[in-house]
Chains A and B, each alone.
Chain A
C-alpha cells in the first residue's frame, strides 16, 4: 500500500467533484491511499502571485507543513495547485531565509515545514510510482477504438522542474495506450487553455478554447482527456459559449484521465462522477467492453 497526503484544492470540492471521485476510486484499485490533508487551504491559484509573492508561498507552506506532519509525500490532482506547491516547496528547501521567515508565520498555526517531503501531480503517482505495467494488470474493460486527445495544458509540464522533456512529453499518451485507447496526434496538446483569463480577458480565453477544441476535432478525437480542473472547466463549461460567439458547433466531451482509467477498470460510471457534465459523455461509455 502506498500512502500520500492528498491536497484536493478548491476546485475539487465541488466544481470538479468528478475528478475527486474518480481519483479516489482508481487509486483504490491500485493499492494507493490518498489521505486528505487535514484543514488544507487554497494554494493561491495563478492569481495570488499577482498581488503578493511572499504571502502566496506562505499559503503553500501551510499545506506542505500539514502534509509533512502526516508523514507522506504530497499529491495534488490540479495542475495549478501542483505547480504552486512544487515550486513553493523547492524554494523553501533552497532558501534558508525564506524558510525561516515563513516558518515564523506558520508558528501561528503551530506548524513547521522542514522540507522532507516530495510534491507530485496525481498523474505522476500513476505513471511513475505505480507504473504502467501494474496499471495494465487492473484493466478489465479496455477502451478499444476510443480516440483520445491527451491534453497536457501548461503547469503539469511547465515550468521545467528537472531535465524532463517539456517540448515532447509522452507520459499521457502512454497512459492512454495502457487503458486500451488510441491517443491521437493532437497538435495543441501543450497549448494553454486560458486559465483565469476566462474571467479577466474573456475574448482571448475563448479564442484559446476554440483553437483547442478545433485542434482536437481535426485529429478526429472522440474525447479530450485532461489532468486539471481548470482546463476541464474552460474546455467544457465554455464550449457552448464558444459555439455561440464563434458560430461553431463543437460537442466533444472533456473527461478526466481518471474517469477513462476508471471505465477501463470496469468501475461504474456513476462512481466516477460521470453524468454531471454539460457535454454528455454517454457515447464514451460504450467503448468500455469487458475483455474476452
Chain B
C-alpha cells in the first residue's frame, strides 16, 4: 500500500538544487542560528525550524515567518558542520508556501516575489517602479512616501529609468518560458 510522505520528506523532496545533506542529519548544534544575521527577527531560529520540520510540525512550520525573513546570505550553509543547505531549505519553504498559498495575510514577501516574476516574464528585465504597488498595499502610505522619496531622488540623479526596459527577442523569450511552464495561449 502506498504511504503518504511525511512533511519532512515532502520538504526534503522540494530541495531540488540543494546539494546539501538531508535535514535528518541535523544535530541541532545551533551554528546556523548563531550565524544568522536576522535570527532576532524570526519567530523560530533556523535550528528550531529544522527541528520542527524533522518532528513533522507542518502547520507550525508553515505559519512561521522564519523563511520569509531569510535574506539568502548563505552564511549558515557554509558553516553547518553537517553540510546541510539551510539557505536552500528556506527557498523551498518559500516556494512551498506560495504554491499552497499558506503564507500569512498581508505578508509582503510572496507578493513581491510574484510581482517580480510577472514583471520579468513580461519584459525580460526587472524594473523597480513596477514593484511600487506592493508597498502601498502592505506598508501604508507613510512608508510608501518614504520609498517614493528615495525613488524620486534616484530619478533626479538619473539612476532610475523612466520607461521599463525590455529585451528585443521578447516573443522568443516568452515561448521559451512557455516550454518550461506551459501557460496556455501566448
A residues lining the B interface (CB < 8 Å): 10, 13-17, 39-42, 44-55, 57-59, 62, 87, 91, 101-102, 104-110, 154-155, 158-160, 166-167, 190-192, 194-197, 199-205, 207-208, 211, 237-238, 241, 276-278
- Chain A residues within 8 Å of B98, by CB: 50-51
Given A50-B94, A158-B77, check contact A58 B176 (CB 8 Å): yes
Given A154-B73, A192-B37, check contact A200 B116 (CB 8 Å): no
B181 to chain A, nearest CB (A): 6
Asked if B173 and A241 sit within 8 Å, CB to CB, the answer is no
Asked if A106 and B176 sit within 8 Å, CB to CB, the answer is yes
- Chain A residues within 8 Å of B154, by CB: 15, 237
Asked if A41 and B179 sit within 8 Å, CB to CB, the answer is no
Q: Which listed residue, A45, A55, A160, touches B181 by the CB 8 Å rule?
A: A55
Asked if B124 and A42 sit within 8 Å, CB to CB, the answer is yes
Asked if A199 and B134 sit within 8 Å, CB to CB, the answer is yes
A285 to chain B, nearest CB (A): 18
The number of residues on chain B lying at the interface, defined by a beta carbon within 8 Å of a beta carbon of chain A, is 61
Name the residue on A nearest B78 (C-beta): A166
Q: Which listed residue, A15, A39, A45, A105, touches B180 by the CB 8 Å rule?
A: A105
Q: Which listed residue, B112, B143, B176, B181, touches A200 by the CB 8 Å rule?
A: B112
- Chain B residues within 8 Å of A44, by CB: 120
Q: Contact flags (1/0) for B165-180 with A, using CB distance below 8 Å?
A: 1011100110111111
Name the residue on B nearest A44 (C-beta): B120
- Chain A residues within 8 Å of B3, by CB: none
Docked CA distance A198–B94 (Å)? 17
Among the listed stretches B4-12, B51-59, B155-163, which one makes contact with chain A, having 4 or more residues with CB under 8 Å of it? Answer: B155-163
- Asked if B25 is at the interface of the complex by the 8 Å CB criterion, the answer is no
Given A44-B120, A45-B126, A203-B41, check contact A51 B113 (CB 8 Å): yes
Given A47-B113, A204-B41, check contact A55 B77 (CB 8 Å): no
Top 3 nearest A-B pairs (CB, nearest first) are A192-B73, A158-B74, A108-B175
Instruction: List residues 93-134 of chain B with CB under 8 A from any CB of chain A.
Output: 94-95, 98, 108-110, 112-114, 116-117, 120, 124-128, 131, 134
Asked if A197 and B117 sit within 8 Å, CB to CB, the answer is no
Interface of B is mostly: helix
Asked if B181 and A52 sit within 8 Å, CB to CB, the answer is yes
Name the residue on B nearest A110 (C-beta): B172
Docked CA distance A273–B116 (Å)? 28
A154 to chain B, nearest CB (A): 4
A231 to chain B, nearest CB (A): 11
Asked if B91 and A49 sit within 8 Å, CB to CB, the answer is yes
Docked CA distance A57–B177 (Å)? 11
- Chain B residues within 8 Å of A191, by CB: 37, 73, 75
Docked CA distance A189–B77 (Å)? 18
Given A42-B120, A53-B16, A197-B38, check contact A160 B78 (CB 8 Å): yes
B36 to chain A, nearest CB (A): 9
Given A109-B175, A203-B41, check contact A54 B150 (CB 8 Å): no
Q: Which listed residue, A48, A101, A241, touches B146 by the CB 8 Å rule?
A: A241
Given A17-B158, A158-B74, A159-B78, check contact A201 B108 (CB 8 Å): yes
